[in-house]
Amino acid sequence: MGDWNSELYMKFESERTRAARDLLAQVSDIKPKTVFDLGSGPGNSTQLLVEAFPDAEVVGIDDSPNMLEVARARVSGARFLKEDIERWRPSEPADLIFANATLHFALDHYGLIKRLAGCLAEGGCLAAQMPNNMQEVSHALMRMIAADGPWSDRLVPIAKTRAVIGPLDEYYRLLRPLCSRLDIWQTTYIHTIDGVDRIVEWFEGSELRPFLKPLSEQEREAFLARYREGLTQSYAPQSDGTVLLPYPRLFLVAQK
């Protein structure tokens, strides 16, 4: 897919980090010795973990050289490793595996979640948050435009690989036999965005990346123009010119 752009990604640092803070609040009472931040990105979530658990060894795991470079410069109290989280395993059972907006990128995220739960030490926690917005207009538009254009032969297969977050009870059935405590909840954040151009910019740093990568520069401009038009028709501006962007996120905390 190509490397991530940390600068573009972190233009929305506050919004992206808010869910990490909410997830961390649900495990702040544990005292882990080892903490792994899967998909640590530019280190915003890792910084929270270092501050919350100053006596723990905190390790960030990511496969983006750009993100790792930024994270290492930003967070001095953690180690960072370049690894694919879908293949990663801790050398010893982990006390806390933290995954903020990461596991949904795995096509077999059911299998990955189950495997990660099996990597926990006794009393250890798997804490994960995944955007659950595939049915939101912002994401449905991506797939619709991918299927309706001169790029469809290249983009439809990509659209079909987008992982769809399952029903809540599916995660319960998957994890309940593996843990002593399980909390699952969903929160819909309502982000106040300064117009649809900013929504486009937000997703250019994340979910639009795989759709744009196979396109020429001219095709990218055409795709984004259609996407921007669709957003304009779907998200009415408020009286102050801002746009309200609903953003559902699924949370789970599983303790062994």
> Over the stretch 56-112, which tens digit does the pLDDT of each residue have?
999 999 999 988 999 999 999 999 999 999 999 999 999 999 999 999 888 788 999
Count up the domains in the chain and report the number. Answer: 1
Give dist(CA 171, CA 230) in Å, integer.
Answer: 33
Residue 240 falls within a domain, yes or no?
yes
Instruction: For residue 75, tell me if it sits in a domain.
Output: yes
Provide the whole-model pTM. 0.89
User: Nearest 5 degrees, angle CA 48-CA 54-CA 60?
Assistant: 50
Tell me if 1 is assigned to some domain.
no
Q: Band of the pLDDT at 1, cuts 50, 70, 90? A: very low
Upper half-sphere CA count for residue 48 (Cβ side, 13 Å): 23
Any domain includes 142? yes
Does 229 reside within a domain? yes
Question: Cα separations (Å) of 100 from 23, 103, 141?
Answer: 8, 8, 24
The CATH number assigned to the domain holding 200 equals 3.40.50.150
In a domain, 81, yes or no: yes
Residue 62's contacts (CB-CB under 8 Å, 6 or more residues apart) are 39, 40, 41, 68, 71, 80, 81, 82, 83, 85
Yes or no: say if 1 and 63 are a contact pair by the CB < 8 Å rule. Answer: no
pLDDT exceeding 70 applies to what percent of the chain? 95
Supply 236's token pair. 């009415």
Q: Which two tokens stand for residue 97?
A: 């595996």
Residue 238 within any structural domain of the chain: yes
Q: 122: pLDDT confidence band, cut at 50, 70 and 90?
A: very high
Answer yes or no: is pLDDT of 7 > 80.
no
* Domain of 209, in residue numbers: 6-255
pLDDT in the model for residue 11: 63
Task: Confirm whether 31 is domain-assigned.
Answer: yes
**pLDDT, mean of residues 160-185:** 88
Computed from CA positions of residues 69, 75, 81, 87, in that sequence, does the dihedral angle turn out positive or negative?
A: negative
